[in-house]
Amino acid sequence: MPNTKHPRMGPWVKYLQKLVGKPDKNCYFIGHSVGCITILRYLESIDVKVGGTILVAGYTSNLGYYDLEDFFLRPIEWNSIKSHCRKFVAINSDNDPYVSLHYGYIFKEKLKAKLIVEHGKYHFSTKGNITRLPSALKSVLSLAT
DSSP class per residue in 62-120 = -TT-GGGGGGGSS---HHHHHHTEEEEEEEEETT-SSS-THHHHHHHHHH-PEEEEESS
State what percent of residues in the chain have pLDDT above 70: 100
pLDDT band for position 145 (cuts 50, 70, 90)? confident
In a domain, 83, yes or no: yes
Q: Which pLDDT tens digit goes with each residue over 3-13?
A: 999 999 999 99
- Give the predicted TM-score (pTM) of the model: 0.96
In terms of Cα–Cα distance, which of 72, 71, 17, 26 is closest to 50?
Answer: 26
In a domain, 112, yes or no: yes
Answer yes or no: is pLDDT of 128 > 90.
Answer: no
Contact criterion met (CB below 8 Å) for 81 and 113 = no
Q: Which pLDDT tens digit goes with each residue over 98-116?
A: 999 999 999 999 999 999 9
In a domain, 30, yes or no: yes
Question: Residue 54: which H helix or E strand, with range?
Answer: strand 50-56
In a domain, 19, yes or no: no
Count of structural domains, the chain: 1
Give the domain CATH number at 65.
3.40.50.1820
In a domain, 97, yes or no: yes
The rounded distance, in Å, linking the Cα atoms of 21 and 72 is 25
- Domain boundaries, position 101: 26-143
The alpha-carbon radius of gyration of the chain (Å, integer) is 14
What pLDDT was estimated at residue 127? 82
In a domain, 2, yes or no: no
In a domain, 122, yes or no: yes
In a domain, 6, yes or no: no
Q: Which amino acid is at 44?
A: E
